[in-house]
Amino acid sequence: MDLLNFLPPLLEGAWITIQLTVLSLILGLILGLFLVLGNMSKIKFFKIITSIYISAFRGTPLLVQLMIIYFALPDIGLMFTAFQAALIGLALNEAAYVSEIYRSGIQAVPKGQTEAAKSIGMSNSKLFIRIIFPQAFKICLPNIGNSAIILLKNTSLAAVITVGELMHRGELLAGATFRNMEIFLMVAVIYWILHYPLTLLVKYFEKKGDYSSAQNA
């Protein structure tokens, strides 16, 4: 079947999609932590800067952000490869959403634990590292999983800046062969296969959270 000839380039694109998703998520999780700390800080300067960042990246389309990074920043001497630009854009965008997920998780940690830790003289840094963040991260896992699913699908926007990910490979094949229906159906199936394990993981974390809640009740 000649459709099988399309698989190798599409799978190569899928591998790039996976790399973009994983790397962007890792960077987004790290940067998102700094953003939520700044946003919840008592220092006004940090709070203002992080609030503006979060608002800007959540309030503008990811596609526009990618276009600025890849096409506009070279005008001021900042040049990136297509993959680097996509990675930077996806990670910066993801961080803005992850920071809000972290914030909701931190606020969900029972205040009694914080007060108990302070009563025994625990510093704020130790309190956050040992008590607040570990619990908040567990609470956040289902939402982080959902964000990762959205991120996986958002990597398709990198095709606009010529990153050779799955969507871009599909567009090239469709343009060369005019087999639009078959090729884009294959692209859709591959995206679905990539996202399905993440969906199962989110359901697992949700059930685990419900179980933990039932145990603590």
Domain CATH code at residue 203:
1.10.3720.10
Q: Grade residue 110 by pLDDT with cuts at 50, 70 and 90.
A: confident
Per-residue DSSP letter, 162: T
- When divided into structural domains, the chain yields a total of 1
55 is a domain residue:
yes
What would the two tokens of residue 95 be? 């961080």
216 is a domain residue:
no
pLDDT at 129: 86
Alpha helices (H) along the chain: 7-39, 44-59, 62-67, 82-108, 111-119, 124-127, 133-154, 166-177, 180-216
Count the Cβ atoms, other than its own, within 10 Å of residue 117. 18
Residue type, 215: Q
pLDDT of 160-194, one tens digit each? Answer: 998 989 999 999 999 988 889 999 999 999 999 99
On the question of pLDDT at 88 being above 80, the answer is yes
pTM (global) more than 0.85 = yes
90 is a domain residue:
yes
Range of the domain at 201: 2-211
32 is a domain residue:
yes
Count the Cβ atoms, other than its own, within 10 Å of residue 50. 20
State the Cα–Cα distance between residues 97 and 60, nearest whole angstrom: 12
